[in-house]
Amino acid sequence: MRVHLQKRDYRSRRMTILVPVLSLLLSFFLGAIVLLLSKADPIITYRSMLKGAFGSTTKIQYTIAKAVPLLLCGLAVGVAFRLKFWNIGAEGQYIAGVIGITWVMQFWTFLPLWLLLPVGMVVGVLFGALWAGVPGVLKAQWSVDETLTTLMMNYIIIGYAEYLYINAWKAPRGNMGTILYPEAAWLPRIWGRVHAGIYFALALVVVLYFILYKTRWGFELNMIGKNRRAAQCQGVNIKANIILGMLLSGAIAGLAGAIDSAAVTHQLTKGVNSGYGFTGIIIAWMSGLNPFVSVLVALIMAALETGSDALQIMKLPSAMGEVMQGLILIPLLAGSVFIEYRLVHSSKHTEGRI
């Protein structure tokens, strides 16, 4: 009896949910193998991770605070992916946002204190949009491959940020990092570590859902992503929409950077290349580009990160979180085939389309 794949008549809704969930579980299983190979007890490790992520109110707050930039980056990447524009530069666009807000906080001293935060956030958003707009224009005008440009532009801005906090914008005291933003211009905390950035993130989830699923523009983005040529025949302006979509994607990543630095780091410093932008790719993919589902996925990813921070203290392999994040992607990508295909035994009752 042979087993082979056959195309389904519909996209399976059940599989759309089941595949990411099973991928997550499978990644825990694969992670256990990795742990066993490095002579650590998987059960103890996982239990410590769980405790580290949700073990106390403070830890839950940490996890939620971490989920905010992750969610925003996931949303940012999701917008671009909807267009089949493979923006893997959310990391760089996030950093552009941090640079933008830091610039305002440090040098726009002529502004009244209460204006620093809103203006800083707007500039951060613009920087992010601009950084994403460059590959957008390159793609729209000259079909330059966006995977390369967005990826390369990450390294440019990582280096530039480093130059800024080590050299040009360095605080007089200390050896790296800009001076802290004025405390009055910080994004306030609302519940322990959880800061007001969560309002922005959740509001954006709703707004994006509305734009992508309910408006003409969302419909057009969907058409372009699924069949560019047909969209063009229906009068959709491809170039303009690619650029607009990229600007929106970069703006959201920039917002993530601006929010996280206004609420958590309060400066541009080492660690600005946090990897949130890259994790955003996993979040977008796992959530099936759905903004609401992204919330849940971002929370899981944040838990993996805070959970593995806890491992460090216990002398357990703290890179485990990242390993797990990477491991999720493999079964997820492999498993997505089951959304459109099913396994059948070829001997009897072969199902398929006519």
- Which residues of the chain form contacts with another protein (CB under 8 A)? 2, 9-11, 214-217, 219, 222-223, 226-227, 229-237, 346-354
Sign of the CA dihedral with 157 first, then 163, 165, and 169 last: negative
Nearer to another protein, 11 or 315 (CB): 11
- Alpha carbon of 116 to those of 67, 77, 108: distances in Å? 25, 28, 8
Q: How far is the CB of 217 from another protein (least distance, A)?
A: 7
Q: How far is the CB of 208 from another protein (least distance, A)?
A: 15
Nearest residue to 288 via CA among 86, 73, 82, 84: 82
Q: How far is the CB of 38 from another protein (least distance, A)?
A: 38
Nearest residue to 127 via CA among 261, 282, 274, 280: 261
Nearer to another protein, 41 or 340 (CB): 340
Q: How far is the CB of 107 from another protein (least distance, A)?
A: 38
Nearest residue to 154 via CA among 168, 134, 139, 124: 134
Q: How far is the CB of 286 from another protein (least distance, A)?
A: 19
Give the three-class secondary structure for 266: coil
Nearer to another protein, 237 or 318 (CB): 237
The answer to whether residues 335 and 21 touch, using CB atoms and an 8 Å cutoff, is no
Q: How far is the CB of 136 from another protein (least distance, A)?
A: 19
308-314 long-range Cβ contacts below 8 angstroms, 24+ apart: 308/49, 308/52, 309/52, 310/48, 310/49, 310/51, 310/52, 310/53, 310/55, 310/59, 311/45, 311/48, 311/49, 311/52, 314/48
Nearer to another protein, 41 or 351 (CB): 351
**How long a stretch of residues is the chain?**
354
